[in-house]
Structure 1
Amino acid sequence: MHENSTSHKKFYHQWFEAEMRLKRGKTIHCEEQKLISRETLRWNNVLIRLMNIIFYLVENNMAFRGTSDKLYTPNNGKFLGLVQLVGKFDPIMQEHLELAMAGDISDHYCGKNNNQNKLIDLMGGKVKSEIVSRAKNSKY
């Protein structure tokens, strides 16, 4: 009979183990999802800090760049200088800067390739749309 065959028992056992792993959240998919969630949270935290640095510079009408666009070099400007300063006291930025310096992340939003401009443009677009929205909704 089929139910008593060794192949049936083997596959039933594998199916049962897979079902138990699914219920406990111990599948490869779950582990990958946890990694993705951790990485997403890390990037969100990094971007929050970078945005706050940008807000500070904009609110105080300060220039962003210096003559160098590399981290930990002289004359690299206020933006990178503040990123480095925050990295001294904030473990999230410290880890981010370590990864950036080691070359473990390709796009660290702290230097060349116009990443600063991309971030500023994205934020500027949001600010502009918020201003337009508030103007349209205000009573004259």
Structure 2
Amino acid sequence: MTTPGVRAKMPKSVRLATVGVWVQAVLNLAAGALLLAVVSDAVEHGRDEGVGLIRFVAVLSLLIAAALLLCGVLVGRRSNAVRVTVVVVEAVSLVGGVLGLLQGGGVSVLPGIVFALAVLRGFSSAEARNWFDR
């Protein structure tokens, strides 16, 4: 039970997972920008065949980065929508990582899977649910 006017302390698991959200947002932002640069370079050199999928992935990466940045900013407000958004994004990331691994992505996909699992665990724990539910 919390006392009115006293701010509840964010659980350690949520704090650590929030750091993960920020790191993932920055990495998605960098990946999206890099992919857009690749698309731009390909178009400038007349190799624009097949860049539509790369452009789509770049824009999707930037949208995910924006959603994660927004969640990172709003996590202190304890809105359950933030928790649900992060859980959904991480679940999709986890599924994508596992599919990449099954399609022969090799060891390079494992850090993304581990990262998604760690953030997902932090935001879906019982203490996180209690903290976000106020």
TM-score band (shorter)? under 0.3
TM-score (ref. length: structure 1): 0.26
Q: Which has the higher contact order (CA 8 A, sep 6+)?
A: 2
Which of the two has higher C-alpha Rg? Answer: 1
